[in-house]
Amino acid sequence: MQSALTRRTVVGGLVAIAVAPLSTSAAFATPETMSDAMRQELGPDARPQAGRIKITLPELAENANAVSMRIAVDSPMTAQDHVKDILVFSEKNPVPTVARFHLGPRSGQARVQTNIRLAGSQTITVVARMSDASLWIASADVIVTQGACFDGT
């Protein structure tokens, strides 16, 4: 970002936290609906371990409509040992599952990138499923600011 705005001054109220552009009517996901979605995707007894995943998200997103997200998972990506799936969950978006990526040894590296929508400041959770069926988990916080030009255009 341009100036040396720190996360603390932002939270201190100088910057309005975004009103989500995604929806005004739909019920937003709550952390519970996100955990429901995760249980559905991963199975009721899934116990992902922390680690191996690096999520790159801006600390302060320029606009909630398109936030650049990179995910890298630490894996040799061989036929015997590779990442099969990368799952992305949002605690606030109306649909808690944001994306599923499917990889394999042909990927060479476990590295993906896309642009996501965020219904407000929140924690994004990423789960990686490995070829040995083990699950890994990580999360990252994003603060969403509101643009100045008040649009409606």
- Provide the residue type at 143 as one letter: I
Is 151 a binding residue for ligand HEC by CB under 6 A? The answer is no
- Does position 151 interact with another protein (CB under 8 A)? The reply is yes
Per-residue string for binding with another protein, 46-85, x by CB under 8 A?
------------x-x-xx-xxxx-----------------
Out of 13, 24, 80, 132, name the contact with another protein by CB under 8 A. Answer: 24
Residue 131 in contact with another protein, rule: CB under 8 A: no
Rounded to the nearest 10°, the torsion over CA 100, 20, 56, 37 is -30
State the Cα torsion 128-132-134-137 to the nearest 10°. Answer: -20
Angle at 22 between CA 19 and CA 91, to 5 degrees: 80
The closest alpha carbon to 124, from 107, 138, 134, 112, belongs to 138
Residues of the shown chain interacting with another protein in the complex, contacts defined by CB under 8 A? 1-3, 5, 15-16, 18, 22-26, 58, 60, 62-63, 65-68, 88, 90, 93-95, 97-109, 111-118, 145-153
Residues of the shown chain interacting with ligand HEC in the complex, contacts defined by CB under 6 A? 148-149
